[in-house]
Amino acid sequence: MKTKTTNITKILATSVVAVLLASCAGGNYVTENQPTVYKPTAPKPPVQQPSNPAITGDTNSFYGWKQNFSMRAIAEGYDINDVNRLMSMASLNQKIISNDRSQSEFAKMPWEYVDSAASSSRVSMGKSKFANNRAVFNSIESNYGVDAEIVTAIWGMESSYGGYTGSSNLASSLATLAYEGRRRDFAEAQLKALLVLLKRGDVSWYQMDGSWAGGMGHTQFIPATWLKQGVDGNLDGQKNPWNSTDALNSTANYLKNSGWVQGLSPYYEVTLPSGFDYRQMGNKKTYDQWQAQGVQMLGGYIPKGSLLELWLPAGKNGPALLTSNNFDVIKVYNNSSSYALGVSTLAKKIAGERTIQKAWPRYEKPLTTAQVKNLQINLTDKGYDTKGADGIIGTNTRKAFARWQADNGQTPDGFITQTSANRLAW
């Protein structure tokens, strides 16, 4: 007599074979009797089969990963028909893997990124969109307490104000990222959230184009975040990321829930006194505390008691900024300081406010990816742990480099260039 586990495995295996055959044929596999009504019940508890090779099998090939993911998703209670249909759409896209490894937020010098983010054309269009949607933005500020210029700037950054919401198939984008493995848990979670959104009706099976990273609609929400933060902004009974009113309200909702403080600028430009102790970078203090150490603000209003962190995006020879809580909140959209700086600067220009005044050190040149990896390896070998050698300059690498600078006669500003890091990049 066959066991219950064997029967379940056969059902799952049959389902997965069907989806993979459809996928190899290049068509969209759709089973009969597909459910049309969504009942918002939680997925069934996972079937516990940790030793079953059919469930835990090969993920070295894209085919194998699809089989493995499909079986696990079905075992967790996701609809068999929906899993089949979604996986039949998924194909491997090597360009997505390349994009994931060379994101401009981490590859460009900060001034290059800001120049692009707050270009004259993007500012001009932003002012026009802001004026033409003033009623929507007034409602957003009233309901969520989030500055409308920031929401407008994110709209501009993410999709050029709805002009380009992406042309990559979401199933293929997320499946490729999951198979590649660097962020497998993240990408698989997005695929599962996408299954829920498809069932709920937020996303249509016939409107599955988004960004290479899995972003959807006007403000490029990833599926799991839309599932939690999406709202029905136009009150039509549906939460649709491709509807601008829904997307803009959802962005404000997301920022509010992440701790946005209305009226607090994401950054304030300051000047530093002669002989300043750069080891204080990364510390958070009130402006009164910074001012007591000779730091002077170049304009703006800071609510009393706000904690501010000193940041030198281009080192000691570039602008000095005090970043606020709202700067960190913007990074929930994209965990990059350059991205937050780009959004903040674009928002200021849309609002007609003054932006960064001090000139950037445009003569400085970045390291290549190979040089960054060498830098990370050499720093770690010398006792300054960068938490990995991935060729991307992130917070851990900058902090490790600043510690090395402090111990080797350099100003510890954490700014990595061909000049400052030459000794460690080879």
Q: What does the mean pLDDT of the chain come to? A: 86
pLDDT at 254 over 60: yes
User: Where is pLDDT greater, at 416 or 17?
Assistant: 416
Rounded mean pLDDT, 215-237: 97
Percent of the chain with pLDDT over 90: 74
User: Which 8-state DSSP code applies to residue 292?
Assistant: H
Maximum distance among all Cα pairs of the chain, rounded to whole angstroms? 84
Rounded mean pLDDT, 371-382: 96
Point out the domain boundary residue: 89, 109, 141. Answer: 89
Using one digit for the tens of pLDDT, what is the confidence trace for 101-148? 655 445 689 999 999 999 999 999 999 999 999 999 999 999 999 999
Using one digit for the tens of pLDDT, what is the confidence trace for 170-211? 999 999 999 987 789 999 999 999 999 999 999 999 999 999
Cβ 336 vs Cβ 328: under 8 Å: no
- Report if residue 413 sits inside a domain: yes
Phi and psi torsions of 169, nearest 5°? -65, 125
3-state helix, strand, coil in the chain (%, to 5): 50, 5, 45
- Report if residue 65 sits inside a domain: yes
- Which residues in 261-372 belong to E strands, given as ranges? 267-271, 284-286, 296-297, 307-311, 320-323
- Report if residue 82 sits inside a domain: yes
Cβ 353 vs Cβ 126: under 8 Å: no
- Report if residue 196 sits inside a domain: no
Distances (CA, A) of 385 to 404, 424, 425: 10, 14, 15
pLDDT at 422 over 80: yes
Instruction: Specify the number of domains making up the chain.
Output: 2
Q: Which residues of 58-97 are buried (b: 16+ CB within 10 A; e: fewer)?
A: ebeebeebbbbbbbbbbbeebbbbbbbbbbbbbebbeebb
C-alpha to C-alpha distance for 6 and 283, rounded to whole angstroms: 58
Query: What pLDDT, on the 0 to 100 scale, is given for residue 21?
Result: 39
Place of tokens 């932003």: 126
259 pLDDT tier (thresholds 50, 70, 90): very high
Least confident of 326-330, 354-358, 389-393: 389-393
204 sits in the region (left: phi over 0; alpha: psi -120 to 50; else beta) called beta
* 271 strand-pairing partners: 296
User: Which 8-state DSSP code applies to residue 299?
Assistant: S
Query: What pLDDT, on the 0 to 100 scale, is given for residue 103?
Result: 53
226 pLDDT tier (thresholds 50, 70, 90): very high
392 pLDDT tier (thresholds 50, 70, 90): confident
Residue 155 C-beta-side C-alpha neighbours within 13 Å: 33
- Report if residue 21 sits inside a domain: yes
CB atoms within 10 A of CB 275: 6
Cβ 176 vs Cβ 93: under 8 Å: yes
By C-alpha distance, which of 106, 99, 122, 140 is closest to 334? 106
Using one digit for the tens of pLDDT, what is the confidence trace for 21-69? 344 333 333 333 333 333 334 444 433 333 333 444 456 799 899 999 9
- Report if residue 40 sits inside a domain: yes
Point out the domain boundary residue: 34, 61, 89. Answer: 89
Kindly state the tokens that stand for 143.
Answer: 């309901």
Query: What pLDDT, on the 0 to 100 scale, is given for residue 200?
Result: 95
310 pLDDT tier (thresholds 50, 70, 90): very high
Point out the domain boundary residue: 49, 72, 89. Answer: 89
Percent of the chain with pLDDT over 70: 84
- Give the predicted TM-score (pTM) of the model: 0.83
By C-alpha distance, which of 405, 414, 397 is closest to 316? 414
- Which residues in 26-117 belong to E strands, given as ranges? none
Query: What pLDDT, on the 0 to 100 scale, is given for residue 257?
Result: 98
Least confident of 181-185, 252-256, 310-314, 348-352: 181-185
- Report if residue 316 sits inside a domain: no
Query: What pLDDT, on the 0 to 100 scale, is given for residue 95?
Result: 86
C-alpha to C-alpha distance for 227 and 213, rounded to whole angstroms: 17
- Report if residue 63 sits inside a domain: yes
pLDDT at 278 over 80: yes
Domain span including residue 391: 369-424
